[in-house]
Amino acid sequence: MSKNYDVLLKLLLLGDSGVGKTSLLCRYVDEEVRSTHVATIGIDFKLKTIELGGKRIRIQIWDTAGQERFETLTSQYYRRAQGILLLYDISSDKSFKNVRKWISNISEYAESNVKMVLVGNKCDIDAGRQVTAKQGQQLASEYGVKFLECSAVKNLNVTEAFRKLAEEVVVVPNENAKNRTLDRKENEAPSIYLSSQSQEEGTSENKCSC
């Protein structure tokens, strides 16, 4: 059976347990909201196909467990990721402070050219906010990554978060992308360039979990 996409991307969701990784993923892929919280055990993934630059992009999104006892397991998936969506809960100062720990893990286990977007999740519960958007933006600027706040419940910036990360990994062949590519540092590893030839990864597309 011929594949129905041009490029396969592998993205990883990281962050403390309870920050809303699975809820964000279900909203993006299944367009539904999880009414109850069930902690992810180990690792799971979902697939979604989008279009960028006239090409069909198959996104394989790995959803990881945030509990410390699973860190050894989930760290094995860091090197497979081309992009990482790093989440914290805007109503949890602890999850925000732990972002630095997660970035340390990324530096240790992931490829040096992995792309990352920082997400302040659950921005719909503004009354219980402990982390301001300004704090999130400052932290993202410190590490040189993109930032935005999201809400799976209200479907705010969910699609934008995943698309922004995909665009960081894939260089779309238009004038804006060309200018962005020219501005990259000389020592930065290249992203994936869309071309007339399709790219394929030797990874099974069947949904699985550990």
Q: Is the Cα dihedral 76, 108, 164, 162 positive or negative?
A: positive
Angle at 167 between CA 179 and CA 100, to 5 degrees: 105
The pTM score is 0.77
Tokens of 76: 């094995």
CA distances from 77 to 11, 45, 111, 172 (A): 10, 11, 11, 26
pLDDT at 187 over 80: no
pLDDT of 25 reads 93
State the pLDDT at residue 101. 93
Three-class DSSP category at 168? helix
Better pLDDT: 81 or 44: 81
pLDDT of residue 44: 74
- Measure the CA–CA gap between 122 and 149, rounded to whole angstroms: 8
7-193 maps to which CATH number?
A: 3.40.50.300
For residues 87 and 127, the model is more confident at 87
The mean pLDDT value for 190-196 works out to: 50
Binned at pLDDT 50, 70 and 90, residue 15 comes out as: very high
Q: Would you state the pLDDT for residue 95? A: 97
Q: How many residues does the chain have?
A: 210
| Parallel/antiparallel/unpaired status of strands 170-171 and 146-149 | unpaired
> Which pLDDT does position 73 carry in this prediction?
60
Nearest to 29 by CA among 199, 167, 155: 155
Residue among 114, 150, 113, 120 nearest 134 (CA): 120
Q: pLDDT for 20-73, tens place per residue? A: 999 999 999 988 876 555 554 456 789 999 998 888 999 999 988 655 544 656
Q: CB–CB of 67/97 below 8 Å?
A: no
95-128 residue pLDDT tens: 999 999 999 999 999 999 999 999 999 999 888 9
Q: What is the mean pLDDT of the chain?
A: 80
Residue 158's closest CA among 29, 7, 5? 29
